Chains A and B, each alone.
Chain A
Amino acid sequence: MMKTNWLLGAALSATALTFVASPAAAATKFEFWYGLSGDLSERVQEMCSRFNASQADYEIVCVSQENYENNLQNTIAAFRANKQPTVTQISDGGVVDLMLSGAFVPVRELMEKNGYQIDWSNYFSGISSYFSTSKGELLAMPFNSSTAMFYYNTDALKAVGFEGAPQTWEQVEKIARDLKAAGYECPIAFDPTGTWQWFEQFSAVHNQPIASNGNGYGGLDAVVEFNKGKFVDQLGWFKKMTDEGLMVHKSKAAGETANDAFTAGKCQMSSSSVADHGSFAKQAKEGVHWDVTVLPVWEGTERHNSLVGGAALWTLKGKTEEEYKGAAAFYNFIALPAEAQHWSTITGYIPVTNSGFEAMKAAGFYDAAPYKGRELAIQSLTATPPGEYTRGIRLGNFGAVRQEVAKAMQSVIFDGTDPQKALDDAAARSNEILRKFEQTYKGQQLP
């Protein structure tokens, strides 16, 4: 009898607690899965709380899946088991698979249906070209966009007599040599698995084709061409620099990532996403002064625009109307000028709309530390209007192609394989991946 009473009491107080804890018991819950971790994940959670606090009809539950790759895998597994989240964050690499799957509700349709007016032409052209159909219809909600940048330690560069920011690879090589001579052990941090900044972005700013058919935009029968352009020599240059100790291998496998080595002041130059600008400012060790600039180009090359990185929010099929209303409300919330600006400020991701960027510029956001330098990301993205080989990469199973290039880079750096041979090999394998993908989606066209 005693026990029953105790249990009943516990049950009652638990129920009472639930009511107290969630005053909006009638709110529609829906899930949002994202692929960011650490500092950036906390920023997303804060955004979710703000959304939940801003209205009472919907409750978003935000779940981190650590990184884009995991999020893609888990979302697919969940989708196949009919347990998918309403909203998921899919990065550049997973776009084509998702586009052809038809597993999503296009964002434009979603917003129109739920009565939200959004000026789609206001979105930055580099972003919309990545996530739109060939007819220009945006399929996913732009969320976190970035591009690759070049970071450098200002004190170290000054110490070897270099003023300003390096703009060419010739300058970078000279600085690295001087740093080495001056006793710096790691002039440049280099992660040979970092294909995004060292390979894809290099190809874009030098206007080198990664694949035929305009990097795949023209159709699924594209073949890769990265083994025919300037990247072959660039990879040879990476090898030379590594052998001379001017570039030093930094990666998770080596025990310390390039970002960590840079913020700890151990390495003096590095390349990473502009999205890390916020984290670098937080994590840089006391006394480490650094700045950021656009990716270097080789002398005598015309600089082209760099590729948009990051991810967009996709709305998945198979959920209820109520949940879709919630998703639309969330998209509307993140597109509010104040919210978008806050997100951009605390992270480093670029403002995704033209008006957003102009407003921040007008308000003097980019004029002083700690945000100074971030406007260079926009400058990099708009160096030229997006062209055939700089608007993006639209290849099926692109994640697997990236792996092939990463293997080629590693085998050149670690095993001394000839760059041309390594890249020819990677290209042959990449083409097999693309042909298999084409077969899997036989008869289908890119939307």
Chain B
Amino acid sequence: MERRAVYRNKVLPWLLIGPQLLLVLVFFYWPTSQALYWAFTLEQPWGGGNLWAGLDNFLYIFRDDRYWGTVLRSAFYALAATGLSMLVALTLASFVDRALKGTKLFQSVFIWPYAIAAPAAGVAFRFIFSPEAGLVGAVNDIWPGIWDPATNGMHALAMVIVCHAWLGIGYNFVFFLAALQMIPRSINEAGAMDGARPFRRMLDLQLPLIAPTAFFLLIMNIISSFTDSFGLIDTMTEGGPIGQTEVMVYKIYVDGFKGLDYSGAAAQSIVLMLLVIGLTFVQFKWVERRVHYN
């Protein structure tokens, strides 16, 4: 039987969603329409005129191997940061779920990183990873020159990814813990009575049962790595060295604001937006429907 709430008043629903709608219009649809317009024109940096360019801006970025470099880098960044963050969060959550000593304390401690703003964490991690003075830099005393994010692009990228993953652990942890605690105790206990060790129970019982949560987190983490990496990269590496930590979102900033190429940046943000919309679509249509064990 289907139950529906129906508003008899025609005006009230609009009034209720009005404020939200207004916010979305002003902060999302209006800038997006502006970016869409710029993406198909050549926009003068100081304003004052633009020329219709058709698909030129898109062709320009698609022909640019450096752009594809940032796309690949973004993909690697997304997978590495997501994998690392989710793995650590899951491990922590399963320990907390087992109600070991100090669980109550760790339950809140593990969430803290999520409350830290990305730029603040970026500054802190920059010090930690600093090749000359930092905590991690101490390895240079043992093997000189082994760690140098200032000149080595791979080191710099690894540094940003670790920081990004660390920031996401809290968020992932909360969801994993909630999902683990939703599993009826009896299932776990039955497994234990059959002689399955905790790790085996994790693989065969708990993981399949929390799969919907895991897929939800996967998509959320990937989206976050596409959009939230900006604050970290800007404080930690500014895209360097040699642009080797420029991911898609950072290249938009570099080209648009530093390079004053508004049109090229607009075209790139349209591509990024489509990508995120696509991922969200996958999340809603595909993942939510199929990954259920009920």
Contacts and interface: CB of A to CB of B under 8 A. Distances in A.
Interface of A: 69, 73, 76, 79-80, 97-98, 100-103, 193, 249, 251, 253-256, 397, 399-400, 403, 407, 410-411, 413-415, 429, 433, 436, 439-442
Contacts of A399: 258-260
Nearest to A414: B151
Contacts of B44: 100-101, 440-441
Interface stretch (B45-53, B197-205, B208-216, B276-284): B45-53
A343 B44 CA distance: 35
Contacts of A440: 42-44, 50-51, 263
B234 interface: no
Contacts of B264: 436
A436 B50 CA distance: 12
Given A251-B150, A439-B51, A442-B51, A101 B260 contact: no
B243 A255 contact: no
A403 B258 contact: yes
A410 B148 CA distance: 14
Interface string B125-138: 00000111100000
Contacts of A403: 254, 258-259
A103 B43 CA distance: 15
Contacts of B255: 400
B62 interface: no
A98 B46 contact: yes
Give chain B's interface residue range (CB within 8 Å of chain A).
Answer: 35 or more
B66 to A, nearest CB: 8
Interface of B: 42-48, 50-51, 53, 60, 66, 130-133, 149-152, 237-238, 240-243, 254-255, 257-261, 263-264
Given A255-B130, A407-B243, A415-B242, A97 B45 contact: yes
Q: Which A-B residue pairs are the 5 nearest by beta carbons? A: A101-B46, A400-B259, A414-B151, A254-B150, A253-B150
A331 to B, nearest CB: 22
Nearest to A102: B48
B15 to A, nearest CB: 30
B46 A69 contact: no
Contacts of A413: 151
A80 B49 CA distance: 12
Given A69-B258, A249-B150, A410-B240, A255 B46 contact: no
B260 A76 contact: yes
A100 B261 CA distance: 15
Of B47, B237, B264, which is in contact with the most chain A CB atoms at under 10 Å from its CB? B47
Contact of A439 (B42, B150, B259, B260): B42
A97 B132 CA distance: 40
A397 B150 contact: no
Given A73-B258, A254-B151, 18 more contacts: A76-B260, A80-B47, A249-B150, A249-B151, A255-B130, A256-B132, A397-B259, A397-B261, A400-B260, A410-B241, A414-B151, A414-B242, A415-B242, A433-B259, A436-B42, A439-B51, A440-B42, A441-B44
A413 B66 CA distance: 20
Contacts of B46: 76, 79-80, 97-98, 101, 103
Contact of B260 (A97, A102, A249, A429): A97
Contact of A253 (B42, B50, B237, B257): B237
A414 B151 CA distance: 6
B47 A400 contact: no
A400 B261 contact: yes
A441 B264 CA distance: 15
